[in-house]
Structure 1
């Protein structure tokens, strides 16, 4: 059920434009509310956050100087080391904890050119862990998958890929996002486009499946047959945006080519223009490297064996710099920790921050922490996790803990109204089963809450894309989230009561007709990519 909190808890209200304007003016200087005036630590958190913010400095050092943080890369190691040193400069104990190993790899230069029937430099990049070309690169004609009748006809066609680049993604009918169509097209035209896209997608998928493979398993088959490279396009349904994931080849390069150029090449191949391209995709195979979590802590003075945890994954995909997934979550937790060390240096409970590795491959870092530290997990007061983008927090649910309304409401009541009024709470909520690192703790029975953010078109434009960069950060919202997190952590630490772990009775599963069960801890992948 959803409940709005009263003045003693949370209260939702509509505000007119004048009050919003006034709130913004006040926020830029200081926030002083009656609830905060009763608690000088809350006011000190607010004053430090708005008067001495380090968010832009941290963002520059992490995103501009270090860049993307793909697991197994030197940049990921550099980020871990940077975080440890940054915490130490604030007087906070920090360390890197190894929990596994991963395929080591480092991205180099990608350059893609069409050289026939005309010359044009193309936009695109190699996928993560792609094998390298030589310094001279690879030049070849490209081809698209044929119409496949069955697995036998596919095997007869397969030798034709030898010495060719093979295009393995469909030709999208449009590069305009749906919102653009909705605004400008006639309803009939919009519907026609959507039907064409749906039909093309279905036809493309079924055509590949008639080969006896799917869109993933066909790639090593093409490589084995002698293809010199794989050309892909994973359009994110926004202007100029592709999702960049990992390669599935062992010896030949795999590159994602931006939609505009990919569909041009596809049309040329369809029309018999025999386009030829030249690809230089340099990378380094670094063997096996350690995978880490970075943790930092402020030891509790009264209950040092009880823990309040700040949580955010540190790794990213590397199509861009991972600014909103999860650079912004990382910035929130680091800034909150810096503030707490300055204004609340002697917490009642131990405050611990976890910057988890390899979340993108299955919550591996946080799952490893939960498995390796049962002594901490059993004594967790609360976990606050932030992941999904740069937006201000707008939603918190009780994660299926029956009494979560009681303590979360009390803590949220001390948060400035300019922040609190945007947050919708759902109690008791449901336990997270995946998605982000809070799920690792929930599965172990620890009260772990995701601070869910306003979208800012996260799903289309920045989530795992080639556009997830510093310029997409909305620092006002990130600053708001740092204040929220620091206050919640402070009050969770100070609470005289231990949080209840009583769970709700889960409803019947519609598919099985049986009661749903609480998620259980899953083992992390400790040897990845090898």
Structure 2
């Protein structure tokens, strides 16, 4: 999941057209599913309210709860999910066996193939890999270690940044701490960095933790979510960096270029967060000129994975405690030398990336589609467990449950496992652009440009735009589901309230009109399609696992995964069997073939 507290990432999520050309070809996997016996359909009437309801508590539920019927599809789904679950087995294979799944890496493509074949084994049809892109180079780590060798031996907790080049064999060099405060201050290091290992970041104070790193949403927090204001009732805010932020961004760009010009051999950053050996690490940076315009961060820029990217300096991240110690030693007058051996491999044989897609065909409404999914790509320091093998395993488990119970949907159920999410929702944006439509002039900047100008972007809808009922996404870690973000769509509230009722005892009661960002439902929401992300308990997502070396299987909560799979399966099944498609926002556009219509979808 893209960092939720990054304004840049949240705005980037609203851009619906992916980079490059979306491939039309599909890699097909034949399958021969078992025959199914249609179960009696249980349509759910959908009568949206005409006005927003009064504030409510998160535990508000219908006054009467029907007695449990063991033959009821919902009770059968719950029983299968809780008592015969395979969600942790699926998650273990993705994390322990396949491992980290950086977009376009061999591991990512192995995950694409394995998930396709596994869902075919379960009886899903049309299991396939849908290409998009070109994305760029894959990258994999072959060998890495980092140690202070003088004045004493200090093994370091460290990890290379993704798409960093290697060191071409062991590198031993002097360590220089660049503690410059501004561009003028950098000049005292001019001529001193050639061949050096450079500490690039300020030291970071580590404070004792007096609160648990793992948390669940409290009743107060759930109440605040339940009573959140309608995002459509607030005036849209234009994005603009503050003066202080502009100075910081400019100086970061200047430092990166300075280190390249001076010939540094290796750049060492402090982990942006975490302690106790936890490292948060993402992609290597490419030096580029600073652009002070407010929209500059959304313009196409060269990324480290681009095949055309220039040669850059190797880059690693070191745990805060180790980094701080080296900086303090240098400040005390010690001369430090460090040995680093970084071996990597770039993969350029196939620049296309892939989404895994599979289906449970519908019956009388088979031309209409209900979708579910989550992103399968991850960062590389851990094994991508909470971000986001958890969401992938839950989505796969949901469709496995429906097939195992032979519950026949009226609409076609389509599961999609995305790649490229961590780089900017690329996989889901490409899928939406290919199948459902694009925004404005079709450029990657269309939504952002309209937002900056205060304009309403145009939607270029495709025929399938009218056929999609809903997309459900899971990408908030290992925590159990506590409810749903309605994404400004008040019309679905009474429907989702009924669907959550069987899970009240499991803690899922809250419906929030609020928007939430940072993940793949935004690709659908941006073109006026119902796209929803579930509210989940935080557990240790931001404090320990999100994009870190601790994002591993052992941080997953098995009971929470089983609960989430049951809820996902019920929401998908209900959506696929009700008489009507789920209602869209009143402001959502009605698609017109070959024409542009107004859309006020936001994010």
Cα distance between partner residues in 2 of 1:37 and 1:180? 40
The residue matched to 1:129 in structure 2 has which SS? coil
Range moving further from structure 2, 172-181 or 387-396: 172-181
Is it true that 1:383 corresponds to 2:433 in the alignment?
no
| C-alpha deviation, 1:208, in angstroms | 12
Question: Residue 383 and residue 217 in structure 1: after superposition, are their counterparts in 2 closer, same or farther (change >3 A)?
Answer: farther
Is it true that 1:298 corresponds to 2:330 in the alignment?
no
Give the counterpart of 2:265 among 206, 210, 228.
228
Maintained 8 Å contact 1:402/1:504 = no
Is it true that 1:3 corresponds to 2:56 in the alignment?
yes
Give the counterpart of 1:125 among 133, 138, 159.
159
Maintained 8 Å contact 1:236/1:465 = no
Alignment correspondent of 2:376: 314
Question: Residue 471 and residue 400 in structure 1: after superposition, are their counterparts in 2 closer, same or farther (change >3 A)?
Answer: same
Give the counterpart of 1:154 among 161, 186, 206.
186
Alignment correspondent of 1:260: 321
The residue matched to 1:390 in structure 2 has which SS? coil
Question: Residue 8 and residue 168 in structure 1: after superposition, are their counterparts in 2 closer, same or farther (change >3 A)?
Answer: closer
Give the counterpart of 1:144 among 177, 187, 191.
177
Range moving further from structure 2, 276-285 or 240-249: 240-249
Maintained 8 Å contact 2:196/2:264 = yes
Q: Deviations 1:8-29 (Å, cap 9, x if unpaired)?
A: 6489xxxxxxxxxxxxxxxxxx
Maintained 8 Å contact 1:10/1:412 = no
Alignment correspondent of 1:29: none
| C-alpha deviation, 1:38, in angstroms | 7.5
Alignment correspondent of 1:410: 498
Alignment correspondent of 2:600: 518
Question: Residue 147 and residue 220 in structure 1: after superposition, are their counterparts in 2 closer, same or farther (change >3 A)?
Answer: closer
| C-alpha deviation, 1:246, in angstroms | 0.7
Cα distance between partner residues in 2 of 1:373 and 1:10? 42
Alignment correspondent of 1:15: none
Cα distance between partner residues in 1 of 2:488 and 2:389? 28
Q: Deviations 1:124-148 (Å, cap 9, x if unpaired)?
A: 111111101123x111011111445
The residue matched to 2:414 in structure 1 has which SS? strand
Alignment correspondent of 2:534: 451
Cα distance between partner residues in 2 of 1:303 and 1:486? 19
Cα distance between partner residues in 1 of 2:154 and 2:75? 58
The residue matched to 1:232 in structure 2 has which SS? strand
Maintained 8 Å contact 2:587/2:600 = no
Question: Residue 214 and residue 53 in structure 1: after superposition, are their counterparts in 2 closer, same or farther (change >3 A)?
Answer: same
Maintained 8 Å contact 1:311/1:438 = no
Question: Residue 484 and residue 149 in structure 1: after superposition, are their counterparts in 2 closer, same or farther (change >3 A)?
Answer: closer
Give the counterpart of 2:285 among 224, 238, 248.
248
Maintained 8 Å contact 1:431/1:439 = no
Cα distance between partner residues in 2 of 1:371 and 1:226? 42
Give the counterpart of 1:99 among 121, 132, 144.
132
Give the counterpart of 1:336 among 369, 375, 398.
398
Alignment correspondent of 1:277: 338
| C-alpha deviation, 1:310, in angstroms | 0.8
| C-alpha deviation, 1:59, in angstroms | 1.6
Maintained 8 Å contact 1:127/1:244 = yes
Maintained 8 Å contact 2:275/2:321 = no
| C-alpha deviation, 1:397, in angstroms | 2.6
The residue matched to 1:84 in structure 2 has which SS? helix
Maintained 8 Å contact 1:347/1:494 = yes
Is it true that 1:90 corresponds to 2:178 in the alignment?
no
Cα distance between partner residues in 2 of 1:373 and 1:159? 54
Alignment correspondent of 2:105: 73
Maintained 8 Å contact 2:274/2:320 = no
Maintained 8 Å contact 2:485/2:515 = no
Question: Residue 209 and residue 459 in structure 1: after superposition, are their counterparts in 2 closer, same or farther (change >3 A)?
Answer: same
Maintained 8 Å contact 1:114/1:276 = yes
Cα distance between partner residues in 1 of 2:493 and 2:156? 54
Cα distance between partner residues in 1 of 2:434 and 2:245? 46
Higher helix share: 1
Range moving further from structure 2, 436-445 or 404-413: 404-413
Give the counterpart of 2:142 among 80, 102, 108.
108
The residue matched to 1:404 in structure 2 has which SS? helix
Give the counterpart of 2:78 among 33, 46, 71.
46
Question: Residue 466 and residue 216 in structure 1: after superposition, are their counterparts in 2 closer, same or farther (change >3 A)?
Answer: farther
Is it true that 1:480 corresponds to 2:566 in the alignment?
no
Alignment correspondent of 2:430: 368
Alignment correspondent of 1:467: 550
Cα distance between partner residues in 1 of 2:208 and 2:172? 31
Maintained 8 Å contact 1:400/1:430 = yes
| C-alpha deviation, 1:343, in angstroms | 1.4
Maintained 8 Å contact 1:336/1:486 = yes
Give the counterpart of 1:37 among 41, 45, 69.
69
Maintained 8 Å contact 1:36/1:416 = no
Q: Tell me, which stretches of 5 or more residues in structure 2 are unaligned?
A: 1-53, 214-242, 287-310, 437-462, 589-598
Question: Residue 284 and residue 257 in structure 1: after superposition, are their counterparts in 2 closer, same or farther (change >3 A)?
Answer: same
Cα distance between partner residues in 2 of 1:99 and 1:68? 20
Please report the RMSD computed on the Cα atoms of aligned residues, expressed in angstroms.
2.7
Cα distance between partner residues in 1 of 2:61 and 2:368? 27
| C-alpha deviation, 1:260, in angstroms | 1.5
TM-score (normalised: structure 1):
0.81
The residue matched to 2:152 in structure 1 has which SS? coil
| C-alpha deviation, 1:112, in angstroms | 0.4
Alignment correspondent of 2:230: none
Cα distance between partner residues in 2 of 1:356 and 1:87? 15
| C-alpha deviation, 1:390, in angstroms | 0.3
Is it true that 1:357 corresponds to 2:419 in the alignment?
yes
